[in-house]
Amino acid sequence: MTTDLINFLTQNKDSLIQHYQSWLNVRFGNSTEEWMDWLLESFFHSLKGEEYNTCKFVEDGYAQAESIQILDEAALVLRNFIFDAVDQVNHFGAWSELIDRSFIKIRQRCLNAALPEVASALFSDVQLIRLLNQISQDMLQEHTEAGIFDVISKGLSKFGLHIAVFKISPDYARGELHFASYSDEVNRYFINTLGIERSVFYQFDVPNDSRLSEVIRSQDTAAFFPNDELITCLFKSDQKIKVKQFQKMIGSPKTILASGVVNNQLKAVLVVSGDQLTEKEVPTISIFANQMAIAMQNADLYHRMQESESRFRTFYERAEVGISIYDWRKKMWEPNPAFIKMLGYDQTDYEKLKTFHIEDIKHPEDWKLQKSYFDDLNSGKIKVYENESRYIKKDGQVIWAKIVVSVVRDIETKNPVYTIVILQDITQRKKIEAAVLESQQKYKTLFDVSVDAIFVIDKDGLIQDANPAAVKMLGLPDKDIKNRSFLSFLPEEDEQEFELLGKRLMYLDIEHLQTRFKVANDAVIDVEINTRTMELKENVLQVIVRDITEQRNIQRELQYIATHDMLTGLFNRNYFEIEMSRYYNGRMYPISIIVIDVDGLKAANDIKGHTAGDMLLHKTAQVLSSVFRSEDIVARWGGDEFAILLPLVDKRSAKLIVDRIRAELESINRDILDPADQLSFSIGTATANHGEDLYETIKQADSAMYQEKRFKRSQNAMIKREN
């Protein structure tokens, strides 16, 4: 991994120098190139583990604390450069650790070379600087802000120092307490007094006219001896009494407040408190605060790297497409769950799939044709290979898949490092494409040979194509059919129904719609229409028209036979009962029923024959047809009986109708000289109101009819006795 990092930096030295340029200009002015050479040379020696004893900081008289800050900034700039340049996030973690170790070695070497005269009298010469240097090294190993603050707290506690860390809003108006290292007793009092929870950062206002505001706005460092003003800022105006209580508990330690700055941006404010601090420690603490800020920036960078890796891992694990990454150094594949599932394997096959080859899953015939492309990809002749071909699943089943293959190469050697394979199952799409092609071929054949007329209509309702059967049905030449409105072939009354559908007709599938069609010579035929939107063409409707004239004629004839009496042409009993059932639960009440019996029919059949009887039935039908309305149901009930169903006719109206029947009989009989040939009816009526049973009503009418018939017989018998 060290060699990889050295190769990467060597190959990208110009880009690295350009990346460093602005920072170097600020730090070293005209000596940019000289400092760049020393930094790179020192870094590479440390990275390789070689001895390198020169320290330009000592040579140029830099203070130890400032030299440490410069080295930390240089390390941060290098980390940022690598994070932006490296494609594989896996490199960043390992390379970042190598960078940290190398700069720690440089720092230690400079520390040993010479120590500045800024040591505190309290901490006997160089003790504080050595301690802060060690803390700085430990901070770089932490990847969270909490971890960084904890390292600082534990380290400084060795000298009886406490810390607090504030973060300041961009407008410098508000602060947040993120960490405090006082005793548990003080911390508990602080939390209880301010009424906050440990999980919540305490917020406070920063007065504009305070020294605290001056320090953070200038991004400087200042000493508070004593620290009354600093503590006062933490409490609200109505909590002044609590300031005294809190100060009494912690005493009056001396405090240094230092701004932690990275790239001219205030990252955090470090507060260091101790009874024996002096202003001599201000420069040292100031540099250390910047080192803390750099460590926090490193933690942010690490967090971004972790998030990036997490996003990639989440996508990789949850992607619906198959992804497999081949590591050329490990000679292993790493397939994601979708890749495993797509090829019909499960997690128990994971180890087996780590060592597979592309040719193991590709269809042999396709592999022969495509192997050269994979060779070109691996050799670098092409950068990406994309293809659709067949693959073999674990159970031998063949699927179609789209494959996209790319290679990540070593920057220096250009050798493959990773091969990334993305596999998308397109079996269903291929089946659909094959089905569409087959459908197109079949459609063309069926279109030409179909016995049904087929019209292809555009979104405006114009006929774009018509098959031979359609031309034959219409009896018109092809040129008179195309570009003509389909609706123009419908009779006007049927055309209006279709026009109501409007453009929606293009999106409706109509089945078995029976209508009529105008053909040549103004003839009209019965047709059945079926429509389908054509999947092969957009905004096109296929209309299949079948001539059902003969079928409709047969249906009408069968319908007539099923509902009519063949002798009289009136409805039959079956139809009468159907209509009676239909009216039963309707709203057509009152309903009257008339039952008629043809007098003397049996005698006519016996004496004169059935022809004479049939003539009587025909005359009866004529009388009834002339008397009743078209909506009245007039039926031959059977033999010599007839029944009439009269909706919305009350009892009084029914009697008037009976009178009309008798009047019609008298009119007909006037022209018949032989009394034996004259018609005579026995008539009975009954009326049902809403909710009454119509079957009972017809029984009542039938009973009334027989009562009249018996009366006539008794009258005839009486006349015969008198004669």
For the residues of 284-303, what is the DSSP string, one character each? HHHHHHHHHHHHHHHHHHHH
3-state secondary structure of 451: coil
Which overall architecture, per CATH, does domain 564-722 show?
2-Layer Sandwich (3.30)
Q: How far is Cα 634 from Cα 32, in angstroms, rounded to an integer?
A: 118
C-alpha count within 13 angstroms, C-beta hemisphere, residue 553: 4
Q: pLDDT at position 373, please?
A: 82
Q: Binning pLDDT at 50, 70 and 90, where does residue 699 land? A: very high
Nearest CA to 416 out of 429, 406, 425, 404 is that of 406
pLDDT (tens digit per residue) in 321-331: 888 888 777 77
Q: Which amino acid is at 369?
A: L
The token pair that represents 435 in the structure block: 């089905």
pLDDT (tens digit per residue) in 460-501: 888 888 889 889 988 998 888 899 888 888 887 766 666 655
Nearest CA to 378 out of 421, 315, 342 is that of 421
Cα torsion angle, 566, 569, 573, 574, sign: positive
Residue 386 above 70 pLDDT? yes
Instruction: Find the largest Cα–Cα distance for the chain.
Output: 168
Region 520-524: mean pLDDT is 84
Region 572-593: mean pLDDT is 89
Where exactly are the structural domains of the chain? 1-116, 143-317, 319-425, 432-552, 564-722
Phi, psi for residue 251 in degrees, rounded to 5: 80, -155
The H or E element spanning position 583 is helix 573-584
Q: Rounded to the nearest 10 degrees, what angle do helices 2-11 and 13-28 cross at?
A: 80
Bridge partners of 274, per DSSP, are: 254
Q: Binning pLDDT at 50, 70 and 90, where does residue 192 land? A: low
Domain 319-425 bears CATH identifier 3.20.20.70: no
The token pair that represents 526 in the structure block: 């019965």
Residue 643 above 90 pLDDT? yes
Q: Binning pLDDT at 50, 70 and 90, where does residue 184 land? A: low
Q: How far is Cα 181 from Cα 164, in angstroms, rounded to an integer?
A: 6
Q: Binning pLDDT at 50, 70 and 90, where does residue 595 land? A: very high
Nearest CA to 594 out of 678, 701, 714, 709 is that of 701
CB neighbours of 140 closer than 8 A, spacing ≥ 6?
A: 75, 100, 104, 295, 298
Fold of 432-552: Beta-Lactamase (3.30.450)
pLDDT (tens digit per residue) in 202-259: 788 888 877 788 888 888 777 765 666 666 666 665 555 566 666 666 666 788 888 8
> CATH says 143-317 is which class?
alpha beta
* Cα-based angle 213, 219, 223 (whole degrees, multiple of 5): 70
Which DSSP string corresponds to 193-259? HHT--TTS-EEEE--TTSHHHHHHHHT-EEEESS-HHHHHHHS-GGGHHHHHHHHHHH---EEEEEE
Q: How far is Cα 442 from Cα 225, in angstroms, rounded to an integer?
A: 97
Ramachandran area for residue 668 (φ above 0: left; ψ -120 to 50: alpha; else beta)? alpha
Nearest CA to 623 out of 650, 598, 649 is that of 598
Report yes or no: 639 and 595 within 8 Å, Cβ to Cβ: no
Nearest CA to 291 out of 139, 477, 155, 488 is that of 139
Q: pLDDT at position 460, please?
A: 82
Strands (E), 602-656: 633-638, 641-647
pLDDT (tens digit per residue) in 278-303: 777 888 888 888 888 888 888 888 88
Q: pLDDT at position 712, please?
A: 82
The token pair that represents 496 in the structure block: 């209006």
Tell me the average pLDDT of the chain. Answer: 80
Residue 117 above 60 pLDDT? no
The token pair that represents 15 in the structure block: 């880009």
Q: Is 432-552 in the same CATH topology as 143-317?
A: yes
